[in-house]
């Protein structure tokens, strides 16, 4: 696991803040298995994802760390790591008043760091928006300027990242549809293509059914869809696959 990313995640975790600073926080782990992955040592992958998210007095945070294991013929590469940490500083929370217009309910300073193996380390900065849309539990839209860190990373440009969640009650349980899009466009390097990554999950709250009400919103099972046009900025490398997942919230 990347030590720098882990340290940064700890900085925004609830253990690093006074209790009265944190409104809510969550920690989860997800197991995933899928096939037909492109530009990887093996097209079959098993992954474990650690996530933390939360809301605090002056903004919110989200961080994840992927540990991916390559199954089958992998060219001698057994596993890899990749992670991101993002935090937003809310104008509405800092100023103590509503900062928005129309369906936009808040504006934020949005920051993010991408780290992993290979030339992927990047710092992102821009503007975040919270948008109220019917039937969505939340919808956020962040517009970033990408700054590649390292001479081998040529992903400088602009990035638009919406993230969302929808909840569908089913009896005593719930179906969750959530995910994100990373659209990297107006890139600085001609050899790095505009790319579009859509990564939603459809999950069923199994814990509420088999373990009772006390485990509601804890154990989820479902599928993750992964569509990535021009993956890693490589022209014509279009990934289109899905994986089975199980996720537990602590």
30-57 average pLDDT score:
95
Q: State residue 208 phi and psi, 5-degree precision.
A: -65, -25
**Average predicted confidence (pLDDT) for the chain:** 91
Separation between Cα atoms, residue 131 and residue 233, nearest integer Å:
29
With a pLDDT cut of 70, the percent of the chain lying above it is 91
Domain assignment present for 4: no
Q: Please give the residue range of the domain that contains residue 171.
A: 22-249
Confidence band of 1 (pLDDT split at 50, 70, 90): very low
Tokens at 175, concatenated: 């179906």
Instruction: Report pLDDT for 71.
Output: 87
Interatomic CA distance for residues 102 and 201, integer angstroms: 29
Cα-flanking dihedrals φ and ψ of residue 233, to 5°?
A: 80, 15
Res 200: pLDDT: 98
For residue 2, tell me if it sits in a domain. no
Cβ-based neighbours of 171, under 8 Å, separated by 6 or more? none
Q: Structure pTM?
A: 0.90
> 212 — alpha (psi -120 to 50), left (phi > 0) or beta?
left
pLDDT surpassing 90 at residue 124: yes
> In the prediction, which pLDDT does 19 show?
62
Domain total for the chain? 1
Provide the 3-class DSSP secondary structure of residue 211. Answer: coil
CATH number of the domain bearing residue 141: 2.40.230.20
């Amino acid at each position: 696991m990347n030590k720098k990313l882990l340290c940064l995640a700890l900085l925004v975790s609830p253990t690093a803040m006074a209790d009265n600073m944190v409104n809510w926080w969550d920690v989860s782990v997800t197991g995933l298995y899928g096939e037909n992955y492109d530009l990887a040592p093996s097209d079959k992958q098993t992954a474990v994802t650690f996530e933390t998210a939360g809301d605090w007095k002056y903004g919110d945070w989200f961080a994840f760390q992927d540990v991916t294991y390559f199954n089958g013929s992998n060219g001698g590469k057994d596993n890899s790591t990749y992670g991101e940490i993002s935090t937003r500083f809310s104008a509405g929370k800092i100023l103590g008043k509503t900062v928005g217009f129309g369906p936009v309910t808040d504006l934020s300073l949005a920051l993010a760091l991408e780290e992993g193996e290979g030339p992927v380390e990047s710092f992102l900065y821009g503007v975040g928006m919270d948008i109220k849309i019917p039937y969505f539990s939340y919808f956020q839209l962040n517009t970033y300027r990408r700054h590649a860190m390292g001479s081998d990373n040529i992903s400088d440009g602009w990035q638009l990242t919406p993230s969302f969640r929808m909840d569908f009650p089913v009896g005593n349980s719930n179906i969750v549809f959530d995910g994100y899009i990373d659209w990297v466009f107006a890139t600085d390097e001609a050899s790095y293509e505009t790319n579009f990554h859509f990564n939603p999950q459809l999950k069923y709250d199994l814990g509420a059914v088999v373990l009772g009400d006390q485990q509601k919103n804890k154990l989820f099972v479902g599928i993750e869809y992964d569509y990535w046009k021009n993956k890693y900025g490589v022209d014509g490398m279009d990934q289109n696959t899905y994986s089975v997942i199980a996720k537990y919230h602590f």
